[in-house]
Amino acid sequence: MDALMLDGNAVAGLLREVFSVEMTTAIGACGNCGANEEVGAMRVFRGAGIVLRCPHCDNALVKIVRDGTRAWIDLRGVSTLEVAL
């Protein structure tokens, strides 16, 4: 891993702020290769925003940009997101 890449657990706090459930154990289906993985297993890249990538095909699953009061979340790379209630 390089200095800008972490695993999906690195965004646990951010996801907890946005969603009211534990998101690192949510299962996302990759819209490209169809692999199902927990958010905690996705690869996270940090820069101007955060990009979560499929650990199987490197498809961009989730993109997150935030400022002090808002967050923009693009889930176009995920075909489904299974969340435990």
pLDDT of 18-51, one tens digit each?
Answer: 778 888 999 999 999 999 999 999 999 999 999 9
More reliable by pLDDT, 55 or 3: 55
Computed over every residue of the chain, the mean pLDDT equals: 91
Provide the pLDDT confidence category of residue 5 given band limits of 50, 70 and 90: confident
User: Up-side HSE of residue 78: CA atoms within 13 Å toward CB?
Assistant: 22
How far is residue 4's CA from residue 80's CA, in Å, rounded to a whole number? 26
Between CA 80 and CA 82 the distance in angstroms is 7
| Range 50-53, long-range pairs (CB < 8 A, 24+ positions) | 50/11, 50/14, 52/8, 52/11
CA-based R_g, the chain, Å: 12
